[in-house]
Each structure stands twice: as structure tokens, then as C-alpha cells.
Amino acid sequence: MMSWEGYDMRARIMASIFTLVLVLAASSASAQSDLYNNGPINGDYDAWTINEGFAVSDSFTLTAGSSSLNGLSFGAWLAQPGDVLESVDVSITSSEFGGTTYFDQTVSFTQTNCQTGSFGLPVCTETGSFPVVQLGPGTYWLNLQNAVVNNGDPVYWDENSGAGCTSPGCPSLASESSVGSIPSESFTILGSSSSGGSTPEPGSLLLFGSGIVGVTGWLRRRA
């Protein structure tokens, strides 16, 4: 007959497994992924100024029951080598440049993957994070303006017309503050959603937890 110490060790192992499952589930639920993708950077056709008094607005669609937005990646054209985009005023609204405002903050960006475009200008990927914005299914607008570059140069949002986009509702509609409707730009909304297929449902976790607790109780009774 197994000693009490053996049964107790089994119980502790199973309890540890249950705790690990909960941690992994929470991690999976909060992992950052593409909530909306309007296609890769083009870099060879056109781009629109997002500082010096100009603003650009692009639509995006969310289909999950609940989405937690916490980041943004987009393509930027810079005026010359050595330019670094430092921050952009980012807002998310119910219509282009207005309506209900769900988010409005200055966001810091990290610049990577810089290449030389067909016009001889640096074209880079800009990625930034911001506090979680909780949104339900629907169409929203991403607005970029008041971008800050290390030396004050202009900076431009890459136009890709939504080519290669992978999300429901794409390609985006787009508008520029001085000319009106334009082709849409390259960007990805980052975050997590309630529809992630790999995340266990709360009910499943409770059932699994009940099983672990039951086995633990049985072991103690047997001891």
C-alpha cells in the first residue's frame, strides 16, 4: 500500500498541473496577435503626410465578440536616412476623424526593417503599444497625426490600397484631412480577442479543475 507521503505527492503534482493550465490559459488569452491586417507595406507607390498639420484616417473591422486592442504596426516613409519616427498621435473613433472617440493618446513607436523604396526614401515598419482598448464587433477608424521625427522632418504613411490584406472587411476605406477620400494604407491592429480557438473556455477549465480536486480528495480519502 502506498504511503501517505506518496499520495500527498501525487496530489501536489496534480494541483501544480492545474495551476500551470490556468497560467497558460491566461497567457494565451492575453497574447498579442493580428486583430486586423490591411496588407503588407508597399513602399513603391505613394504615402501620405501624418505631421505638419495633416492627418490620415483608415477604417478597420472587428468581428470577435470582444477585442482587446493594445498595439499598432504601420509602414512609414521617411524624408532621409537617419530620420527616426518617435511618436504619433493615435486615435480610434466611430467615423473618419470624429464621432465617438474610443482612444486618443500620443503613442511611442519602435522603428525596424528599414528598406530603400523606389523613390530613394527609407521605408520602415513602425510598431507601438498602448493601454488596452476594449471594442465589440463593428467598423472603426484609425487616425494618425502630429507625428514627431527626431529632426523635425515630415513623415508619411505608406499607401498600399489594401493589397494583400487578410482580415474581414478589408481593404480599408481611407481619408486624408486636406483632400478627402484616398486609397488605404498599410497597417495592422494588434491585440487579442475572445474568439481565440486555442484558449480553453471557462466552463472547460472549471470541469478540469473539478476533476483535479476530485482526484485529490480521493487520494486523501484512500490514504
Q: What percent of the chain has pLDDT over 70?
A: 73
How confident is the model over 58-99, as pLDDT tens digits? Answer: 999 999 999 999 999 999 999 999 999 999 999 999 999 999
Give pTM, 2 decimals.
Answer: 0.75
Grid look-up 521605408 returns 123
Of 220 and 6, the one with more pLDDT: 6
Better-scored residue on pLDDT, 132 or 216: 132
Based on the fold, state whether residues 126 and 175 are members of the same structural domain: yes
Q: Which residues contact residue 48 at a Cβ distance below 8 angstroms, ignoring those fewer than 6 apart?
A: 54, 56, 156, 157, 159, 176, 182, 185
Least confident of 5-14, 90-99, 169-178: 5-14
Separate counts of helices (H) and strands (E) for the chain:
2, 13
Both 96 and 168 in a single domain? yes
Query: Contact, 124 vs 111, CB < 8 A?
Result: yes
Q: Which residue has the cell 498600399?
A: 160
Same domain (yes/no): 142, 57:
yes
**Total structural domains within the chain:** 2
Please report, for the domain that includes residue 47, its CATH number.
Answer: 2.60.120
One-letter amino acid for residue 91 of the chain:
S
> What gap in Å lies between CA 61 and CA 45, rounded to an integer?
25
Q: Are residues 20 and 119 both part of a single domain? A: no
Q: Same domain for 15 and 72? A: no
As a three-state string, the secondary structure of 5-58 is HHHHHHHHHHHHHHHHHHHHHHHHHHCCEEEEECCCCCCCCEEEECCCCCEEEE
Range of the domain at 12: 4-30+201-222
